[in-house]
Structure 1
Amino acid sequence: MTVPDTGSSLDPTIQHPTRLALVAFLSGCAEADFKTVRERLQMSDSALSKTVAALETAEYVSVRKGYVGKRPRTWLALTFDGRRRLAAHLMALQSIADQARAQAQD
């Protein structure tokens, strides 16, 4: 099966379901603490850390570390570029779905 030409392409960095879930979650907020993201996405600390590291390297996600009282905290945020790339990826997915629907009606 071939993927139809959508005019824009799917983003390989966020094509993996875990990465897509993370950037989608972060797109709904200014920033979120690591624990909230971990619980919401039902991931282990190590799996989330690896996912965040990959997205931080690609500059989709920014990481801020600090303290609340004496307890260390980590906050995650989707960068402007990450938001832009997520929007383009979702548009490409929508285009694929629209084309499939149109072909099914033919």
Structure 2
Amino acid sequence: MDAEIPAFNEMIHAPHRLRICAMLSAARKVEFQHLQDHLGLSKSALSKHLTQLADAGYVRQDRATRDLRSRVWLSLTPEGARAYSAHVRALRQIVAADGS
């Protein structure tokens, strides 16, 4: 999909998944716990949304051990970044059309 073409994306549009993509697009990587704390979701709810995004090819999960603690780092894939950007453009078009 061309990143310049606005494209409404049902997978990304769900409120929690939209917020996840917004946070991931603003940072190179985000730790699972930080994302969970910021969004106020349970571990299972966040995991469910991340699994859906990962299955769509939009999110990558990397595991690492630091300070004897296993951590999961999340990032948008290039495909996820393009899909999120196209979705944001589609939302802006909808808002602009509504306002005229």
Aligned to 1:80: 78
Q: Which amino acid aligns with 2:99?
A: R
Q: Which amino acid aligns with 2:7?
A: S
When normalised by structure 2's length, the TM-score is: 0.91
Q: Deviations over 1:41-61 (max 9, x none)?
A: 111100000011000000110
Q: Which amino acid aligns with 2:34?
A: T
| Pairwise CA RMSD | 1.1
Give the structure with higher Rg (CA). Answer: 1
Which residue of the other structure, out of 35, 38, 52, is the alignment partner of 1:37? 35
Aligned to 2:8: 10
Greater relative CO (CA pairs within 8 A, separation 6+) = 2
Moved over 4 A (4+): none
Any stretches of 5+ residues in structure 1 without a counterpart?
1-6
- Percent of pairs with identical residues: 33
| Partners of 1:8 and 1:34 in 2: CA distance | 29
Any stretches of 5+ residues in structure 2 without a counterpart?
none
Q: Which has the higher helix share?
A: 2
Q: Which amino acid aligns with 2:58?
A: Y
Which residue of the other structure, out of 34, 59, 65, is the alignment partner of 2:63? 65
